[in-house]
Each structure stands twice: as structure tokens, then as C-alpha cells.
Amino acid sequence: MAGHSKWANIQHRKGRQDAARSKLFSKLSKEITVAAKMGDPDPDKNPRLRLAVKEAKASSMPKDNIDRAIKKAAGGDAENYEEIRYEGYGPNGVAIIVEAMTDNRNRTASNVRSTFTKRGGNLGETGSVSFMFDRKGQIVYAAAAGSEDDVMMAALEAGAEDVESGEEEHVIWCADTDLNDVSTALEAVLGEAESTKLVWRPQTTTELDLDAAQTLMGLIEALEDDDDVQTVTANFEISEEVMAQL
């Protein structure tokens, strides 16, 4: 997913790592708590919780934080979060999917709508852009995990659909319902992944010029700053030339 990975790189360059890490841990904790509350508090018996814990570990979240999030659900004192998806458009018709977990639907809807409006976007109806994406499992390994051929072979044997190998990483794609099984099989061969999660994979991407890229990044950053927002996905692409100007 070109847009997402390039956005992650830009965000890293801009700094704010400490604040971003704190916010990331908060979002990961929420996902762990919700997953544990919806199913078994044992990750081995709860695929969604297992994936949430794997992603938290891959993000260097302390074990104490992970255990605390699980115990919060088991103790019955966790908030009742509702999962909501918002869809809309950014500059140049870029499609955007926002996934949120909230204990106050009205607050979150108002904040998301306001952010789209203030940042040059338009919030649409549910289903207005999701048809332009496929729901997929995404597993990321560092390039050092193995050669392109070895990773491809391991991925296919594990039941994956596709592999994109580059200088820095291998991105393995699978059906959303197969993510738990594929990631487990790959872990036995390649070790622990850098990232394991469900994502929205765009079917096509829109290339942006400098002005549109700056506007879109402002919109995405503002959405991600909302405590209720878990993920933001957009189907954009930025050329190396524009990236250099940013």
C-alpha cells in the first residue's frame, strides 16, 4: 500500500516520536482490551487478541502495558467501545477510510466530520469509498528475514496470496480470514514479523502534487491525532520528486 507506507516515512521524518509512541500505545491498548473483552482473554484461544498482542510487541509496547490491557477487560472495568468506520474524500478525490473505537458515537462523528471539513476533505456515507479497497491481511518482514525467493516460497506454503519485496522489507498479503494461520506458519519459518495486521488495500492509487500532498498529510495527521481514531487509510501515491520537496 504505497500511500500508507510513504505516509509512515514522512511522519517519521517529521519527528514527534515520543508523542506518537504514546498515542500509538494508547490505540494498541484499546484494541487489545476490546479483543479480550469480545472473546477469550487467552491470546492462544482468541485470534483477534493474538494478532493485537503481536502488533503491540512489534511496536515495542512494554509487556506490562499489554498485560494491563488484557486484565482491564477480564476485570470487567473496561469501557464499552463501539467500532465505527467513516469514509470520505481528500484532495484530488483521494479515498480515505477512518476506523474508530469510541464510547461516544456522537462525539467521534462530530470530530471526524469537522476534521474533514476544516482540512479540505469531504466526509461521505458508509460504503462511499470502501469498494475501492480490499480487506486484507498484511504481514511485514525486514529484508534481512530472507531472500526474495525464500520469503516468496515460505509465504506461498503458508497460504499467502502475494509478496512485495523491496530493499527494506517484504510485505506479504493474504485473505483477511487467513491472517492468523498464515502469520503463525510464517513465524515458524521466518521468525517474528515486524507487523501483522488487517488493512484496507487500495485497488488503485492517485498520485499527488506537492500542494495536494501537503493538504492530505495535514488531514491524515489531524485524523490520527483524534484519540477515538484507530487507523487512517488512503489510496494515494507520492513521487520521489514531491517527496524530496516535502
The answer to whether residue 198 sits within a structural domain is no
Q: What is the pLDDT along the chain (246 residues), one digit of tens a residue?
A: 445 555 555 554 555 566 677 888 889 999 999 888 888 888 888 888 988 998 899 888 999 999 998 888 877 666 788 899 999 999 999 999 999 999 999 999 999 999 999 999 999 998 999 999 999 999 999 999 999 999 999 999 999 999 999 999 999 999 999 999 999 999 999 998 988 899 999 999 999 988 999 999 999 999 999 999 999 999 998 888 878 877
For the chain, report the end-to-end CA distance as a whole number of angstroms: 20
The answer to whether residue 156 sits within a structural domain is no
Domain count, the chain: 1
Q: What is the CATH number of the domain that holds 35?
A: 1.10.10.200
Q: What angle, 0 to 180 degrees and rounded to 10, lies between the N-to-C axes of helices 105-118 and 210-224? A: 160
The answer to whether residue 43 sits within a structural domain is yes
The answer to whether residue 130 sits within a structural domain is no
The answer to whether residue 115 sits within a structural domain is no
**Cα distance between residue 47 and residue 208, in whole Å:** 37
Domain that holds residue 67: 2-74
Under 8 Å between Cβ of 141 and 152: no
The answer to whether residue 45 sits within a structural domain is yes
The answer to whether residue 16 sits within a structural domain is yes
180-195 burial string, b = 16+ CB within 10 Å, else e?
A: bebbebbeeebeebeb
The answer to whether residue 113 sits within a structural domain is no
pLDDT the model gives residue 220:
94
Under 8 Å between Cβ of 90 and 218: no
**Cα distance between residue 243 and residue 246, in whole Å:** 5
pLDDT the model gives residue 81:
87
